[in-house]
Amino acid sequence: MTTVLARGTVVVALDPANVVEADVVVDGDRVVAVAPAMSEGAGMHVIDCTGCLVIPGNVCAHTHAYSALARGMPYRLAPPRDFVEILRRVWWRLDRALDEASIRASARVAAMEAVLSGTTTLVDHHASPGVIDGSLDLIEDAFAEIGVRSVLAYETSDRDGPGHARAGIQENRRFLARVAATSPQLVRGLVGAHASFTLSDETLEACVDLAVSSGRGLHIHVAEDAEDERDAEAMHGRRVLDRLERAGGMAPVPVLAHGVHLDHAEAALFRASGATLVHNPRSNMHNAVGRAPLGMLGSRVALGTDGIGADMFEEGRTGYLRLAEEHGSSGRSGTGPGDDLPMDDAGDADASWPLRRLAAGARLVADAFDEPEFGRIVPGAPADLVVLDQPLPTPITADTLAGHWVFGLSARAVRDVLVAGRVVVREGRLTGVDQDALTAEARVQAARLWERLDAIGEHPFVPGEVMVG
């Protein structure tokens, strides 16, 4: 089946920006041509994109689909006073309340919200201590129904005891082995690990062993809160990234979420590693953990939502505005962490910042799928495409794309979405499933999940007790 996205303005690449007037021809799962006025042959499926912008699908490089039913959930404990209490009183209660039906419902909602907002790949980090074995398959199946691409991992941790840690590693091992054996079209895996402060040396070592034997890097939270660094220094005598590096966790290259409290030495270690760091500005602002030292992190900084939906227009805009507020939008007068160094890519607060961050996320996915052209609209690239239908009242060129992105474009404009050549959203609605029925079922599951959650108390884990189990 050949599909032609006809007569649109095509964003061939985000970084450096490249914009052309062209038709995009998709055959099977790939872009096969990008050229002006292709002749539209018989039997071709033509999608008229006149007046629309065609962009590569956005990547959310760190998220937690399991939190998709959290919106509005009950909370009757004392308000959390710090980040660890947020985990103990909110997220580590929610994850323990999850059962198979609510994992599936959460994943379906997360996938729906992703594609409806123009995000075609989710790099997910999953935790459900009550259902570990097979949990990644539940997510894979739910994502496949909607048609979203993903990179999955199970969040290994010692916080629920060594048995759960072993089960987490086993789930990653099982899933990675199956993905390696079958190469599914839309999913790859990483080795999921929670964070240094909930990982014993033994568990971290087992995660690294799996990363090395599978050739898939870790997906791990690093230095999201100062407590992670305090714990690493107190319990292991070194900083978080130093601990990870000495354990062998920087090769194969990992996906590192947050990095808010990395110091100069850790930033240098990160930059030398080829790893990707995922910045989650809305989550960091909401948890009041601080802002990552972007000025010293280089260009391999991608964007994630950390579970706050999957609207990468919104995430990019928020991250940019926060940086611009500190630096001025021309970029050079920062007062934040790491800003004593000359600004470089991730710290440069010009309007192209969201485009550069999204391109870094696409490079991560390109590596995971071994698809070097992923994230660009060129012949040979996987056809993950989004059609935005929104008035563009000023000229749209490579030079003006960043301005449109920051000050105009919105997930509300998403009209059509293709993932691997399959139309998964048409005229703003899911094509593969009845989205009203999906939403109704999600509400039923959310109510059940909230009831179980309400009966679960604060998680007993405190940093420094990781060996106790």
Per CB under 5 A, residues contacting Zn ion are 306
Q: How far is the CB of 401 from Zn ion (least distance, A)?
A: 29
Cβ 91 to Zn ion, closest distance in Å? 9
User: Which residue, 155 or 266, is less far from Zn ion as judged by CB?
Assistant: 155
Between 173 and 219, whose beta carbon lies closer to Zn ion?
219
Query: Between 10 and 190, whose beta carbon lies closer to Zn ion?
Result: 190
To the nearest whole angstrom, how small is the minimum distance from the Cβ of residue 259 to Zn ion? 12
Looking at beta carbons only, is 23 or 306 nearer to Zn ion? Answer: 306
Output the residue with the shortest Cβ distance to Zn ion.
306
Q: Are 104 and 135 in contact (CB under 8 A)?
A: no
Residue keyed to tokens 């420094």:
464
CB 158 within 8 A of CB 469: yes
Rounded CA-CA distance 9/54 in Å is 6
Within its chain, how far is the Cα of 340 from the centroid?
29
- Alpha-carbon dihedral sign for residues 96, 98, 103, 109: negative
Q: DSSP assignment of 253-278, as one string? A: PPEEEE-TT--HHHHHHHHHHT-EEE
Question: For the packed helices 312-327 and 353-369, what is the interaxial angle rounded to 10 degrees?
Answer: 130
Strands (E), 141-295: 149-152, 187-189, 191-195, 218-222, 255-258, 276-279
Q: Among candidates 54, 118, 39, 22, which has minimal Cα distance to 392?
A: 54
Three-state DSSP state, 38: coil
State the minimum distance, in angstroms, from the CB of residue 224 to Zn ion: 7
Pick between residue 125 and residue 300 the one whose CB is nearest to Zn ion: 125
Contacts of 340 (CB under 8 A, 6+ apart): none
Q: Closest distance between Zn ion and the C-beta of residue 304, in Å?
A: 7
From the CB of 303, what's the least distance to Zn ion, in Å?
13
Rounded to 5 degrees, φ, ψ at 189 are -130, 160
CB of 194 to Zn ion, least distance (A): 9
Query: What whole-number distance in Å separates Cα of residue 88 and Cα of residue 257?
Result: 19
- CA dihedral over 362, 366, 367, 372, signed as positive or negative: negative
CA distance 85 to 92: 10
Smaller CB separation from Zn ion, 260 or 424? 260
Least distance to Zn ion from the beta carbon of 125, Å? Answer: 6
Q: How far is the CB of 257 from Zn ion (least distance, A)?
A: 5
* CB of 278 or CB of 381, closer to Zn ion: 278
102 vs 283, beta carbon nearer Zn ion: 283
| Distance from C-alpha of 191 to C-alpha of 208, rounded to nearest angstrom | 8
Judged by beta carbon, residue 106 or residue 435, the one nearer Zn ion is 106
